[in-house]
Amino acid sequence: MARTLQQALVIVVAGAALGLAANALSPRRIPFLTPPKAPPQDRDTVSLEEAKALWGSGTAFFLDARATADYHAGHIAGALSLPIEEFDDHYPQIQPVLTPDSAIIVYCDGQDCDLSHRLMNRLRELGYHNARLLVNGWTTWHTAGLLTHAGNQP
């Protein structure tokens, strides 16, 4: 009996060690402790009124950071789909229309939605310093009765 427990303990410890090692080497590793998300700074966000004005003037690109299925279900009219979870697949189609000076409004859905934050940060890493967040963008825009569209076309 003691030998069986000893063998089981060795298997559990070995499995845990292999799992921890695989996680440490993975490019998509899972953090042991997630630091609290810093709230966006005022310079990182855009109000609904400002977003509406930019949309109306046609001087900004609106990028939807949500999953493609959510984009198809409904999005801000004229917005392009750039799901952060599939960034490398979708960015090459959008990159030709953007310039480093482009005004870019990124959004997702929900007060705590992190997708748009991650997309904004990724775009800024690529040199798009005018990328800003419309917090709770889809719900805020839709609830205000502003123009939306469904399907795969902007």
- Report residue 12 as tokens: 């559990």
How does DSSP assign 45-78, residue by residue?
B--HHHHHHHHHHT-EEEEE-S-HHHHHH-EETT
Residue 25 sits in the same domain as residue 86? no
Residue 62 sits in the same domain as residue 90? yes
Specify if 11 maps to a domain: yes
pTM confidence score? 0.75
Residue 92 sits in the same domain as residue 76? yes
Taking only the tens of pLDDT, the chain with its 154 residues reads 888 888 888 898 888 888 888 888 877 777 776 665 666 666 789 999 999 999 999 999 999 999 999 999 999 999 999 999 999 999 999 999 999 999 999 999 988 888 999 999 999 999 999 999 999 999 999 999 999 999 988 8
- Amino acid letter at 132? R
Residue 2 sits in the same domain as residue 72? no
Residue 29 sits in the same domain as residue 61? no
| Residue of 124, 110, 140, 113 whose CA lies nearest to 46 | 140
Specify if 154 maps to a domain: no
Give the distance, in angstroms, between the CA of residue 39 and the centroid of all CA atoms in the same chain.
15
| Residue of 98, 104, 108 whose CA lies nearest to 130 | 104
Residue 65 sits in the same domain as residue 141? yes
- Phi (first) and psi of residue 113, to 5 degrees: -65, 125
State the total domains in the chain.
2
The boundaries of the domain holding residue 11 are: 1-35
* Residue 149 near residue 74 (C-beta atoms within 8 A): yes
Residue 114 sits in the same domain as residue 58? yes
* Tokens 């559990």 belong to residue: 12
